Amino acid sequence: MIDKKTIEHIAKLARLHITDEEANEYSAQLEKVLHNFEKIANIDTNNVEPLITPTEIEVYWRPDEAKQEFSAEEMTANAPARAGNLFKVPPVV
């Protein structure tokens, strides 16, 4: 049962503020979607290794070289706030 309390707990885990209206809406919708997920519960998967990536990963190593791809200016250009080359954050962070 995805009640409001569960929704609030998930939102906390997800670091996501949601409104009361959203909590009510998600509660009903998630319940329905999760019910749909139950379809796979009875499939026999004993000793089946989960598939994480669908095609084989061929091991490739990049040369172990230090490279400067971007300047500090470029790396901080999108920051919401900055002080010189540093990311500026509110005191709590």
Supply the minimum distance, in Å, between the C-beta of residue 23 and another protein: 10
With contact defined as beta carbons under 8 Å apart, do 88 and 82 qualify? yes
**Alpha helices, H only, the chain:** 4-13, 20-37, 72-76
Residue 59 gets which letter from DSSP? Answer: P
Is 66 one of the binding residues for another protein (CB under 8 A)?
no
Is 70 one of the binding residues for another protein (CB under 8 A)?
yes
Q: Rounded to an integer, what distance in angstroms lies between the CA atom of residue 60 and that of residue 92?
A: 41
The SS3 assignment for 87 reads: strand
> Per-residue string for binding with another protein, 5-44, x by CB under 8 A?
-xx--xxxxxxxxx---x---x--xx-xxx-xx-xxx-x-
Residue 83 gets which letter from DSSP? Answer: E
> Per-residue string for binding with another protein, 72-91, x by CB under 8 A?
--xxxxxxxx-----x-xxx
Interacting residues toward another protein by CB under 8 A: 2, 6-7, 10-18, 22, 26, 29-30, 32-34, 36-37, 39-41, 43, 45, 48-55, 57-58, 60, 62, 69-70, 74-81, 87, 89-93
